[in-house]
Structure 1
Amino acid sequence: MVNPTVSVVIITYARPHFVGECLRHLAALRTAPHEVLVVDASPDPRTRTLVSEDFPDVRYLRNDLGPGTMPESRQIGLVNATGDVVAFIDDDAYVDPDWLDELVRPYADPSVGGVGGRASNGIDGEESRGLDLIGRFLPDGRLTGYFGADPGRSIDVDHLLGANMSFRRSTLLALGGIRGNYPGTCLCEESDISLRVRQSGHRLVFMPTAVVRHVAAPYQTGGQRFDRRYLYYARRNHVVLLARVFGFRAPVLRRYVLTALREQRDYLRTTYRLVRGRPDHEGVVPSRRRRLTAPVVLTRSLAEIIGLGAGFPAALVARRRDRAEGVSTP
């Protein structure tokens, strides 16, 4: 594909300030996209007003399903996009001026179905951390990140980061579009897209020169990053992901559950250390209050175990919905 047209889709919920900054960075690109679409699930009109008054060339689309429906917002963007490539960025991801030029370069190879870029989080050393683990799908079903790393060249990966990813529109449409039922924190929804594109025989490429600055805006849908709600949905949605993409009988699903259960030992070790008053790896001795409240740590393990169990009936419902909508399931 020579010089593909690109539709940029921004999904958002109740963060108009970040949408405005995101759109200002897109307007400063060296090469303008074919179109920009904002898909808004907010409960108020602030984002609609911002787009209509300050960015009249941007297409505003509405997702009336509300919070926790990021994949549904992506699907709305996909079905309304007209470019050869659909690029998804988060509202708190601000593109570099040459982001679009770098993102589309790998599409010259017809075997490439998706391209993702680097998300710089402003963390010291992130560019060299996890260089051999960027976007990997491990044999035990876990997914690695490290999308802030810079390997110095483009590399093939197994999945992409939702804050900075793109796909051929025709490829996504051929797969039946973007699937929902990844609620809560919407974890794994971008991995569902990526793994399905890989299963269809296409390559996924990580292009470290296609950079966005990810400022990690506050959640507006309840909870905080890595709280118990997050842990619950991380496990629940991961089970749904594996069951939908590979099937209930897939060995990788069993391996993931066993790995997740083994990982609960870390909570037990932490609780034991705190109760005994032993120092952590940095030599810090827990306070008396911390020792008394140590059992609270186990509620994080409980959230994960409940999430694992909830993933199976949720996956059954999701697979039935997929079949009803004509999306093939293993």
Structure 2
Amino acid sequence: MSLSPVVEADPSPRASGLTTSVVIPTFRRDGYVRECLSHLAALTATPLEVLVVDATPEESGSPSPTRAVVASFEGRLPVRYLRNELGAGTTPESRGIGVDEAVGDIVAFVDDDAYVAPDWLDELLAPYSAPDVVGVGGRIVNGQPGETEEGLDRIGRLLPDGRLTGYFAADPGRDVDVDHLLGACMSFRRPALLDVGGVHGRYPFPCVCEETDISLRQRARGRRIVFAPRAVVRHVSAPYAGKGDRFDRRYDYFRRRNHLVMLVRIYGPTSTTARRFVVTVLRENAGRIRWAARVLAGRVRGPRGERLHASARLRSPGVLARVAVDLAGLAVGWPVGVRELRTDRALAAARGEAR
């Protein structure tokens, strides 16, 4: 996919007169929401509204603590509290609720554990002075060594084999066109979101392709998305509020599953992009199997030609476990993607009839 390298933008975004609705999906992170709202309250440009969409269960008449946090900012921010009654693992549905309620020209998304810089909104809006730009994302600083230089020429790409690149902490020193953005710091023209049916849900497990779906649907229509590195958020990576570790085998499984589901939903089950992704993953895992077999047979040597210690050989079954998880994700992803594509089309037809 060909991408234009440079975006020329009006340096004075406020002259555009665009209004912004900021949507914050959250689940059991009231303390992080408080800090997130504190940073939004310190912006040099005030958004039209801030919508906090909370999926924290409210049981036995006990309100979510996030509700009180939001109420404490009334008068400091144009903030509203919204409910997502679906609970854990429904971040895209929370985003969708925010889009449905938003009234701004631009809908911006920020994670509850991502804290905006004072000029974040000014810089995020600047590229929208180009009328063909439908989406803008910013730099997500994680505090990792070398992150500003890594992947400068590979930010936010959809590769020909269906894989995605990230590198959203990189600072190329200028705006660049990209294929996708991360939910911790992304925005879209509201009409463009509504034109593709809003935010598409049914991506289980947090932060696994659900935000990428939004961008790729715009790119599939040939629309322009920009990475603006001067629009900065600091991402503190709050602990995952569900069961287990965020990056355990379940994450590996859903990463593969949801990625293939996303490609099938957007490009179709027989698309070159979806097929190439399957072939790429199969080849990667065939290589892992060959390596594990050589390790178990004692045929792999260390960097100085020494035989690997027994502990290294014992770790090779862990590689095979990852292979099994990857293949399971692929096996499930394809039929689920076809099912979800049919659901998407049925919902689109229903919306057309409603009009």
CA 1:293 to 1:155, structure 2 compared with 1: closer, same or farther past 3 Å? closer
Match of 2:175 among 154, 173, 176: 154
CA 1:51 to 1:310, structure 2 compared with 1: closer, same or farther past 3 Å? same
RMSD of aligned Cα (Å): 2.2
Match of 1:235 among 250, 256, 262: 256
Q: Which 10-residue stretch deviates more, 279-288 or 80-89?
A: 279-288
Mapped partners of 1:266, 1:33: distance in 2: 50
Mapped partners of 1:81, 1:126: distance in 2: 33
Aligned: 1:52 with 2:71: yes
Give runs of aligned pairs for residues 68-217 of structure 1, distance below 5 A.
68-217=89-238
Is the Cα–Cα contact under 8 Å of residues 185 and 233 in structure 1 kept in the other structure? no
Mapped partners of 1:101, 1:162: distance in 2: 18
Is the Cα–Cα contact under 8 Å of residues 67 and 221 in structure 1 kept in the other structure? yes
For structure 1, the residue ranges without an aligned partner over 5 or more in a row are none
1:212-266: CA deviation from partner (whole Å, max 9, x where unpaired):
0011111112333432111111111111111111111111111100001111145
Aligned: 1:317 with 2:336: no
Amino acid at match of 1:222: K
Q: Which 10-residue stretch deviates more, 207-216 or 35-44?
A: 35-44
CA 1:62 to 1:279, structure 2 compared with 1: closer, same or farther past 3 Å? farther
Mapped partners of 1:148, 1:94: distance in 2: 14
Is the Cα–Cα contact under 8 Å of residues 223 and 230 in structure 1 kept in the other structure? no
For structure 2, the residue ranges without an aligned partner over 5 or more in a row are 1-14, 59-63, 351-355
1:35-88: CA deviation from partner (whole Å, max 9, x where unpaired):
101001112411112212344642000101111111111100000011000000
Is the Cα–Cα contact under 8 Å of residues 117 and 209 in structure 1 kept in the other structure? yes
Mapped partners of 1:113, 1:139: distance in 2: 23
Q: Which 10-residue stretch deviates more, 52-61 or 34-43?
A: 52-61
Amino acid at match of 1:73: S
Count of aligned pairs between the two proteins: 328
Query: Cα offset for 1:98?
Result: 0.4
Mapped partners of 2:30, 2:142: distance in 1: 20
CA 1:280 to 1:272, structure 2 compared with 1: closer, same or farther past 3 Å? farther
Q: Scaled by the length of structure 2, what TM-score is found? A: 0.87
Q: Which 10-residue stretch deviates more, 254-263 or 225-234?
A: 225-234
Mapped partners of 1:139, 1:296: distance in 2: 29
The structure number with the bigger radius of gyration is 2
Query: Cα offset for 1:295?
Result: 1.0
Of all paired residues, the percent bearing the same amino acid is: 55
Is the Cα–Cα contact under 8 Å of residues 37 and 73 in structure 2 kept in the other structure? no
Is the Cα–Cα contact under 8 Å of residues 176 and 327 in structure 1 kept in the other structure? no
Q: Which 10-residue stretch deviates more, 146-155 or 280-289?
A: 280-289
Query: Cα offset for 1:204?
Result: 0.2
Is the Cα–Cα contact under 8 Å of residues 73 and 79 in structure 2 kept in the other structure? no
Amino acid at match of 1:25: H
Amino acid at match of 1:169: R
1:270-326: CA deviation from partner (whole Å, max 9, x where unpaired):
535754496767999976445435313311111110000101121122112111211
Give runs of aligned pairs for residues 206-285 of structure 1, distance below 5 A.
206-268=227-289, 271-272=292-293, 275=296, 276=298
